[in-house]
Amino acid sequence: MTFLSDHDIEKGVAVNPAELRVIANSSPNHDGSSNSNNQNHDVERNDSSGKKSSCCSINLKGIWSIEARGITRVENAEKKSPRPLHDYFHMFSLWFSINLGAVNIIIGLLGPLVYGLGWVDCICIIIFGGGLASCSVSYLATFGPESGLRSMILGRYFMGYWPSKIAALCNIVQQVGFGTIGCIVTGQMITAVNGGGLSLAVGCVIAALFGYIPQALAIFVLIDSAGKNFNIDAVSVGDPASINANRCSFFALIFASIIGFSAVRVGIATGVPNVPEWSEAYEISSGALLYACFSGLGGFGGFCVVIISLGSITNNAPCSYSAALTIQTLGEYPKRVPRWLWCVVITAIELVLSVAGRDRLFTVFQNFLPMMAYWICPWITIVLEEHLLFHKLLGRPFDWSINENRKKLPVGIAATLSFLIGFSGAFVGMYQVWYTGPLALKIGGEYGGDIGEWIAIGFTGVVFPPLRWLELKRLGR
């Protein structure tokens, strides 16, 4: 998290649009220069549409407090002094709110209902899988205060200017996909509350356009209402080999989605076979199942479902925010478009996709979530090894001021080859409805288990160090 000072251009009260364009584009030239007289290529090439968008961003910022800064680096002079207790609280409340969304509740259902796992297996997998994935996210977040850079811009220091765009594109698809799933789940819940009178398509539209945050209270009410039907004695179904394979697959799913409030989700799923009303609701949709869990509370239960469903904005907002920043890393022209406008475009795309894919939610989950980790795992492995082996160990500090300088950033040959090898290796161990890798079949059971993420990490971790050493020796960067 980057701390901005009181004179941050996003927060300034009286800012000249022309001055802001100079500040926002005063990053170093590709030849390493940063002369304010030249004002960089971006200012020289600024056309009328770019000027209009900048002025529009400033006007909207002043009226509605819309954030104007895009991917421009936050310089040291602009940073605030950290306030540990205050900052930790805000970071905790941010991610706590995100993890309360309806999407996260639905993911936990897959353990018992799809993989046939018991209560203890699901709880352990969720805790350790989510914890391990959270470590990688937290590690990457520590680069923010030090570098002053946002989002996938950091990828340029680990994969090079052009190759980093591969990871950026993957991230855009990932965030739009997660936002789409959020709209689908919310649409299902709103439709269920309405008794089926409201179409799922209209529910998806409501989810994309509105949101409400006090879903935490509603979730605790859910525990009280449905908790008596949680079957904590449920055991995993199948022979030992099949159970182990399903554990691997569910662990991969949890690792990819990084979820919280685990016990609530698993408890609902273990109660489905024992409660006829829940089984009937599950046949309709996962949103209807959540509504059935509140059935004992009458109208108040329906109100709680609406609170949870509209609170899914806490899932969708970070996805749109991240995707918008990532789009700006793709080139000069996307960078000129204000970030808030990209958020509007992304929300519109999520709306269209959610309406089109509303009847295939679980298929989307089972195919989409693990696929995210197939590219994230190689990317994180490259970041970790580049940072620890080729910077920390060799005493090579990062120069965060060269994030736009293609001649000083890594060439990216080693990272690109390692990334592709790791991503390809994931297919050897993947377990999806449309393909099962040869190594996945050896895990056990009739269909095998998903170990694609770990093979991707292994392949990337082995090939990157020698390739990067050779790249540094021959090319010097």
What one-letter code names the amino acid at 391? H
Give the contacts of 71 (CB within 8 A, at least 6 positions apart): 149, 150, 151, 153, 325, 328, 329, 335
Q: What is the mean pLDDT of residues 329-336?
A: 86
Ranges 54-68, 155-169, 337-351: which has the least confidence? 54-68
pLDDT at 61 over 70: no
DSSP string, 298-361: THHHHHHHHHHHHTTHHHHHHHHHHHHHHHHTT-HHHHHS-HHHHHHHHHHHHHHHHHHTTT-H
Compare 217 and 87 and report the one with higher pLDDT.
87
Q: Which of 434, 190, 210 is nearest to 314 (CA)?
A: 210
User: Bigger pLDDT: 309 or 157?
Assistant: 157
Residue 321 — pLDDT band, cuts 50, 70, 90? confident
* pLDDT reported for residue 193: 66
Q: What does the mean pLDDT of the chain come to?
A: 71
Q: Which of the listed ranges 207-221, 300-314, 411-425 does the model predict with the highest average pLDDT?
A: 411-425
Residue 312 has pLDDT above 90, yes or no: no
pLDDT at 225: 54
Top-confidence range, 63-72, 98-107, 224-233: 98-107
| Region 246-265 average pLDDT | 57
Cα three-residue angle 281-284-290, rounded to 5 degrees: 45
pLDDT at 102 over 50: yes
Torsion of CA 15, 19, 21, 27, to 10 degrees: -120
Residue 243 has pLDDT above 60, yes or no: yes
Closest CA to 337 of 49, 62, 61: 49
- Residue-wise pLDDT for 185-204, tens only, equals 777 777 776 665 555 455 55
| Identity of the highest mean pLDDT range in 99-103, 212-216, 392-396, 468-472 | 468-472
pLDDT of 203 reads 52
Query: How many Cα neighbours within 13 Å face the side chain of 367?
Result: 9
- 263 has pLDDT over 50: no
Which residue type, as a one-letter code, is found at position 143?
F
- pLDDT at residue number 35: 43
| Mean pLDDT value of segment 17-41 | 40
Cα 257 from chain centre: 8
Q: Which of 250-254, 328-332, 341-345, 370-374 has the lowest mean pLDDT?
A: 250-254
Residue among 253, 449, 460 at smallest CA distance from 375: 460
pLDDT at residue 419, rounded to an integer: 94
Average pLDDT in the 40-56 region? 45
- What is the per-residue pLDDT for 388? 93
Q: Does residue 34 surpass a pLDDT of 50?
A: no
Has residue 400 got a pLDDT over 70? yes
Distance (Å, whole) CA 212 – CA 306: 9
389 vs 315 pLDDT, higher one: 389
Q: Examine the pLDDT at 363 and tell me if it is beyond 70.
A: no
pTM here? 0.71
d(CA 234, CA 11): 54
Confidence check: pLDDT of 285 > 70: no
